[in-house]
Amino acid sequence: MPRCRVCGAPASYRVPWANAWFCPEHFSRYFERKVSRVYERYVPRSVERILLAVSGGKDSVAMLYASARVVGGEKELGVLFIDLGIPGYSEEARVIVEHHAHRLGLPFHVADIRGYGFTIGDAARLAASGRLGRPVCSICGVAKRYIMNRYAVEHGYDAVATGHTMDDILGFYLAGLSSREGLRSVAKLSPYTGGGEKLAARIRPLYFLTDAESAMYVEANGLEILGSKCPFAPRRRGEGLRLTIKEALENIDRRHPGYRVMLARTLADHVSGILYSALGPGETRRCSICGYPSSTDPCGFCRIRLRIHRLLGEKQDTGSRHP
């Protein structure tokens, strides 16, 4: 039976790249140190109010608890749940996120997509009938990014923290390297990305932690997470480039432990900065419908929203007030 490297108690959690075993308590300390490193080293002191975007899945729940334990005493934290109107899924997720927010004594916010005149359930129906011309997951992704930013801006938060793990980030990284447009997104892929007018900063507290580690953290702390998967999530086959990259990197890591961590460190400390200096901030326009910053006009979210309204065959609305 392996023993915890710190206290010698029976250990059940292994961190392969460090060749270390931990008991539940010391695994949690290891995990929180990694999160603490992101906040201390990358997030400016001027960032005081942070909105933690939590979906109820393992990664965002781990991000929530580790953030609350690491910076709960010095930053003002709030929890944001985005109700996407996914039948039989959003309701269950909301109950779990609300429970965790209350347990941690943090303000609980809900941004309901219905305030924009549609739900992801509507979008899924339209996408399935082929009338949207794009998969529902891409619409959902655009909607989540837009809504979390707008909610943070309208409620005076300096930054939004998300539960993206090292696996997610390296997937975006390598996928982004394959196109000129993608390079611009890689330039912004650091543990902290500054904001601007009507643009909240972004924090990625799990930047140096894998999916497997966030699953272990949730288990070690007995945290309740959403049991069901999103009914619209694509099946394994054909899940796209980022999943292929993730599996390939896991394979490399098995044979060369620590490879992913090194990749993430050079991205955080060198590559993103070098690309940013070379490419500049890029042109930022304003969406003429909603007024939020975007590289296109109208912004991606307004275009989708108006198209869905048209297909749903009615619905008023021009850049309506946030719910």
| Beta-bridge mates of residue 79 | 52, 108
Closest CA to 21 of 40, 37, 35, 1: 1
For Zn ion, which residue of 61, 111, 290, 304 counts as binding (CB under 5 A)? 290
* Cβ-based nearer residue to Zn ion, 44 or 141: 141
Tell me the angle at which helices 58-71 and 24-42 cross, rounded to the nearest 10 degrees.
Answer: 70
For Zn ion, which residue of 289, 304, 307, 308 counts as binding (CB under 5 A)? 289
Return the range that interacts with Zn ion (CB under 5 A); candidates 32-40, 105-113, 216-224, 289-297. 289-297
Q: How far is the CB of 247 from Zn ion (least distance, A)?
A: 31
Return the range that interacts with Zn ion (CB under 5 A); candidates 80-88, 149-157, 213-221, 294-302. 294-302
Helix/strand/coil (H, E, C) string of 175-221? HHCCCHHHHHHHHCCCCEECCECCECEEECCCCCCCHHHHHHHHHHC
For Zn ion, which residue of 50, 302, 304, 308 counts as binding (CB under 5 A)? 302
* Cβ-based nearer residue to Zn ion, 96 or 147: 147
Position 26 contacts Zn ion (CB under 5 A):
yes
Q: How far is the CB of 94 from Zn ion (least distance, A)?
A: 26
Sheet of 49-53, strand order: 108-112, 76-83, 49-53, 159-161, 201-203, 192-193
Position 71 contacts Zn ion (CB under 5 A):
no
Position 15 contacts Zn ion (CB under 5 A):
no
* Cβ-based nearer residue to Zn ion, 26 or 34: 26
Position 287 contacts Zn ion (CB under 5 A):
yes
Backbone angles phi, psi at 286, to 5 degrees: -115, 140
DSSP state of 130: T
For Zn ion, which residue of 77, 189, 230, 299 counts as binding (CB under 5 A)? 299
The two three-digit tokens of residue 123, written as one number? 């979008």
Position 23 contacts Zn ion (CB under 5 A):
yes
Q: How far is the CB of 278 from Zn ion (least distance, A)?
A: 29
Contacts of the segment 222-225: beta carbons below 8 A, 24+ positions apart = 223/61, 223/62, 223/65, 223/100, 224/61, 224/96, 224/99, 224/100, 225/56, 225/57, 225/58, 225/61, 225/96
Q: How far is the CB of 37 from Zn ion (least distance, A)?
A: 20
Position 137 contacts Zn ion (CB under 5 A):
no
Position 153 contacts Zn ion (CB under 5 A):
no
The residues of the shown chain that bind Zn ion, judged by CB under 5 A, are: 4, 6-7, 9, 23, 26, 287, 289-290, 299, 302
